[in-house]
């Protein structure tokens, strides 16, 4: 293990550092990674952000995005960087299976592994851990790491603030989920004071859709939404053919599950999508309903209580039928 004071001593001189985050990074994954990147660069370290896969176009405007290395595009370079790193920061995930092949490279790498995360059930692969499931975003924990652990609040630049604000905004549903406590609002205010333009960040992330994406959303709502009143559940199903028809790219499907959850009375929403090699399921729930339990038990996945995901080895139609067959087990909780 590595104590905070040992980590501080290590970070007192320039180090080779890798920052990585989960597969198909979202706003929190990229915001926390690039926020930490901007901080560590400023402190004189040699830093690379390596993502396991590509990520949505509406995050490509983030400061220093052009420095990001995508593992699937540059495997050899990524492997060399991971092997040489003195410290590998793992942000917004806590099991190495969430980062595909990069996970094994990191497991075998000699450098210290530092986890900054807010998901349940961390795997024991790390040497240093800044972990809190009550945090609304990994970006909140990066803020905490910089300001309270490293005692470097004076180093919060506009770039750092912009990235961290993006992570907190996206993971807290624009500061509206229960996880957006008064502390989170205070951190948001501090980030605005440090230069984050909250109105601009919101616009770049949420008002940045392609025409195709909007028409695809229209199709999902008009033709693909199924409401199962008996179980207060709504499902949106998407075929590979529809993805091709609407030219859907990484990021275009993000957030669509929330429309299903916004139907009056719905407690559980599912977005089930036929990807190239597998069927992916995203669940959202309200209140105490454990969406992550369903993903863990039936879809080889996990996540938070109200936002979870997993995969299915079955075909699309069979996966939808399988999902529906699980609902009676949760009948009482769904009707609460
Ligand atoms: P999304 O539905 O946006 O893909 O994922 C929502 C949350 O569910 C993520 O933040 C993550 O915590 C969790 N999640 C999604 N997919 C998986 C998966 O395949 N495995 C695990 N363990 N968690 C997942
Ligand atoms: Mn997160």
Q: What is the pLDDT confidence band of residue 228, given thresholds at 50, 70 and 90?
A: very high
This prediction's pTM: 0.94
The pLDDT assigned to 336 comes to 79
> Who surrounds ion ligand 2 at CB < 5 A?
28, 92, 138, 171
Whether 211-334 and 4-206 are alike in CATH topology: the answer is: no
Structure tokens that stand for 251 in this block: 């990021």
Q: What is the pLDDT confidence band of residue 103, given thresholds at 50, 70 and 90?
A: very high
Q: Across the chain, what does the average pLDDT equal?
A: 97
Residue with tokens 């299976």: 97
137 in ligand 1 pocket by Cβ < 6 Å?
Answer: no
User: At residue 224, does pLDDT exceed 90?
Assistant: yes
Assigned architecture for domain 211-334 = Roll (3.10)
Q: What is the pLDDT confidence band of residue 8, given thresholds at 50, 70 and 90?
A: very high
Tell me the percentage of the chain whose pLDDT exceeds 90: 97
Tell me the percentage of the chain whose pLDDT exceeds 70: 100
Q: Kindly state the DSSP code that residue 161 receives in the 8-state scheme.
A: H
d(CA 307, CA 323): 16
Q: Which residues of 297-334 are buried (b: 16+ CB within 10 A; e: fewer)?
A: ebbebbbbebbbbbbbeeebeebbebbeeebeebeebb
| 164-182 pLDDT, tens digit each | 999 999 999 999 999 999 9
251 in ligand 1 pocket by Cβ < 6 Å?
Answer: no
What is 278-329 written as a DSSP string?
SEEEEEEE-TT--HHHHHHHHSS-EE-SSEEEEEESS-HHHHHHHHHHHGGG
The pLDDT assigned to 276 comes to 87
User: At residue 244, does pLDDT exceed 90?
Assistant: yes
Dihedral angle of Cα 96, 98, 100, 102, to the nearest 10 degrees: -50
119 in ligand 1 pocket by Cβ < 6 Å?
Answer: yes
Collapse the DSSP code of 48 into the 3-class scheme (helix H, G, I; strand E, B; otherwise coil) and give the result: strand
Say if CB 179 and CB 136 are below 8 A apart. yes
Say if CB 231 and CB 195 are below 8 A apart. no
Task: Give distance in angstroms: CA of 123 to centre of ligand 2.
Answer: 16
> What average pLDDT does this structure show over 287-297?
97
Nearest protein CA to atom 2 of ligand 1, as residue: 282
**Probe target for ligand 1 pocket from 26, 305, 307, 313, with the most ligand atoms within 8 Å of CB:** 307
233 in ligand 1 pocket by Cβ < 6 Å?
Answer: no
Task: Give distance in angstroms: CA of 53 to centre of ligand 2.
Answer: 16
Supply φ then ψ for residue 180, to 5 degrees.
-85, 80
Say if CB 223 and CB 237 are below 8 A apart. no
d(CA 270, CA 122): 25
Nearest protein CA to atom 14 of ligand 1, as residue: 309
Nearest protein CA to atom 3 of ligand 1, as residue: 282
The pLDDT assigned to 45 comes to 98
Q: Nearest ligand to the C-alpha of residue 132? A: 2
| 308-334 pLDDT, tens digit each | 999 999 999 999 999 999 999 999 999
- Closest by CA to 111, choosing from 126, 129, 131, is 126
Collapse the DSSP code of 175 into the 3-class scheme (helix H, G, I; strand E, B; otherwise coil) and give the result: coil
Structure tokens that stand for 74 in this block: 């540059």
Burial (CB < 10 A; 0-12, 13-18, 19+), residue 9, is exposed
d(CA 100, CA 262): 32
Dihedral angle of Cα 42, 52, 77, 111, to the nearest 10 degrees: 60
The pLDDT assigned to 81 comes to 98
> What average pLDDT does this structure show over 55-77?
98
Say if CB 296 and CB 309 are below 8 A apart. no
> For 4-206, CATH number?
3.90.1640.10
Residue spans per domain, the chain = 4-206, 211-334
């Amino acid at each position: 293990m590595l104590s905070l004071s040992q980590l501080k001593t290590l970070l007192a001189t320039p180090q080779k550092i890798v920052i990585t985050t989960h597969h198909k990074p979202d706003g929190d994954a990229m915001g926390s990674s690039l926020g930490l990147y901007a901080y560590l660069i400023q402190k004189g370290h040699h830093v690379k952000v390596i993502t396991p896969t590509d990520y949505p176009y509406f995050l490509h405007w983030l400061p220093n995005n052009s420095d990001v290395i995508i593992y699937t595009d540059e495997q050899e370079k990524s492997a060399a960087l991971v092997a040489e790193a003195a410290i590998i920061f793992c942000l917004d995930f806590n099991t190495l299976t969430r980062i595909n092949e990069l996970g094994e490279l990191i497991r075998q790498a000699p450098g210290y592994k530092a986890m900054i995360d807010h998901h349940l059930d961390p795997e024991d692969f790390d040497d240093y851990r800044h972990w809190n499931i009550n945090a609304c975003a990994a970006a909140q924990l990066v803020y905490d790491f910089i300001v309270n652990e490293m005692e470097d609040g004076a180093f919060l630049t506009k770039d750092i603030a912009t990235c961290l604000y993006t992570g907190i905004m996206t993971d807290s549903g624009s500061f509206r989920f229960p996880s957006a406590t008064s502390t989170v609002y205070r951190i948001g205010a501090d980030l605005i004071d440090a230069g984050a333009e909250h109105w601009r960040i919101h616009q770049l992330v949420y008002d940045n859709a392609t025409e195709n994406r909007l028409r695809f959303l229209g199709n999902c709502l008009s033709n693909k939404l199924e409401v199962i009143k008996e179980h207060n559940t709504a499902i949106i199903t998407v075929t590979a053919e529809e993805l091709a028809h609407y030219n859907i790219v990484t990021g275009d499907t993000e957030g669509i599950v929330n429309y299903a959850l916004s139907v009056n009375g719905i407690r559980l929403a599912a977005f089930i999508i036929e990807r190239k090699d597998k069927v992916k399921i995203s669940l959202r729930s309200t209140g105490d309903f454990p969406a992550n339990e369903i993903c863990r038990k039936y879809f080889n996945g996990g996540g938070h209580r109200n936002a979870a995901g997993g995969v299915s080895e079955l075909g699309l139609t069979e996966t939808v039928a399988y999902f529906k067959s699980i609902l009676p087990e949760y009948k009482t909780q769904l009707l609460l």
